[in-house]
Amino acid sequence: MFRIKICGITSVEDALAAARAGADAVGLNFYPKSPRHIDLDTARQIVDRLPAGITKVGVFVNAAMEEVCRTFDQLGLDLIQLHGDEPPEFLARLGLRAFRLGPAGLEALAEYLAACRRLQCLPRRTLIDSFVPGDYGGTGKVPDWAVLSVYPAEPWHPPLVLAGGLTPENVAAAIRTVRPAAVDTASGVEISPGRKDHARIAAFVAAARRAFEAR
């Protein structure tokens, strides 16, 4: 499973830059309202050019199950990331489930995962982003790391993927504080929404890798 993911990839050039930098995974966004949204043809070009070993994650927000499965199969993706308001019943060990950390802290997440456990459909990993009303990620806002540092540690809880405002400058501190299984960035390595800065990708991956190894 990946440790470092570069999300919101919109071009072959940016995907290859992430691979060269040593990222373990790239995220392809299929949410039409996102500035990082890509169509199937562009996604297929990216997937076809990625080297072996890079985890390909499809990001969906409140999409129909049929659409999610069709896209997954057509592109040969490795993981599905649900980043909307999908209920526990939607999950079938598809991959990542994203949550936005709001004023209620981890309470809503704990209730959701408990429901998933009862239904025997726990996600492989839990991705936590910051809560911004009306947005579904990619805002560049940093969630409360102190709250996330007490993410439940029972063996059945999915490993934590930390997202939200991560940059080359703060990712090492985030890893030391929260101790996630993996980190995920989009806006933190961009020139503009959907357009990646290749130097910042390389700096982010290097900083995250050092922090994980030191831990």
Catalytic residues: 7, 129
Q: Are strands 190-192 and 195-196 parallel, antiparallel or unpaired?
A: antiparallel
Contact 141, 165 (CB under 8 A): yes
Report the C-alpha gap between 23 and 1 in whole angstroms.
12
Query: For residue 35, is it left (φ>0), alpha (ψ between -120 and 50) or beta?
Result: alpha
Q: φ, ψ for residue 113 (rounded to 5)?
A: -65, -35
Intra-chain end-to-end CA distance of the chain, in Å = 18
Q: φ, ψ for residue 167 (rounded to 5)?
A: -135, 170
